[in-house]
Amino acid sequence: DVKVTQSSRYLVKRTGEKVFLECVQDMDHENMFWYRQDPGLGLRLIYFSYDVKMKEKGDIPEGYSVSREKKERFSLILESASTNQTSMYLCASSWGFGYTEAFFGQGTRLTVV
């Protein structure tokens, strides 16, 4: 089975802290994604990566950055956490061209106080 693992299920951070959310997949997927999920807004794409060291902005990249140094790992970075970044964060991965399905992690509930 494909496994996408997010390092934490719950995180509480203080305003202004630098926050790292980690995601690891074990299926050699080319593509990895970070989504943010908020009630009434669905899932919104923050960033995605289609190869090591390659990244593209999604729909709401402001306040976030990403890192993909190894194929299996995709990190989301909140440079200076703010309360409006309190949310559920979902990581996903998929194979490249010709494949369709994305596989999701369990999600990280981040609270910024």
Partner 1 sequence: AQTVTQSQPEMSVQEAETVTLSCTYDTSESDYYLFWYKQPPSRQMILVIRQEAYKQQNATENRFSVNFQKAAKSFSLKISDSQLGDAAMYFCAYRSRGGSNYKLTFGKGTLLTVNP
Distance of alpha carbon 10 from the chain centroid: 14
Site for partner 1 in 29-88 (CB under 8 A): 31, 33, 35, 40-45, 48, 50, 58, 88
Mapping DSSP to helix (H, G, I), strand (E, B) and coil, where does residue 77 land? strand
Nearest CB to partner 1, comparing residues 50 and 67 = 50
| 100 lies in the site for partner 1, by CB under 8 A | yes
Shortest distance in whole angstroms from residue 107 CB to partner 1: 4
Shortest distance in whole angstroms from residue 18 CB to partner 1: 25
Shortest distance in whole angstroms from residue 77 CB to partner 1: 19
Angstrom distances, CA of residue 47 to CA of 1, 14, 90, 92:
25, 23, 11, 11
Distance between terminal CA atoms of the chain? 37
Edge-to-edge strand list for the sheet holding 64-70: 4-6, 19-25, 73-78, 64-70
Residues at the interface with partner 1 (CB under 8 A): 31, 33, 35, 40-45, 48, 50, 58, 88, 90, 92, 94, 96-97, 100-102, 104-107
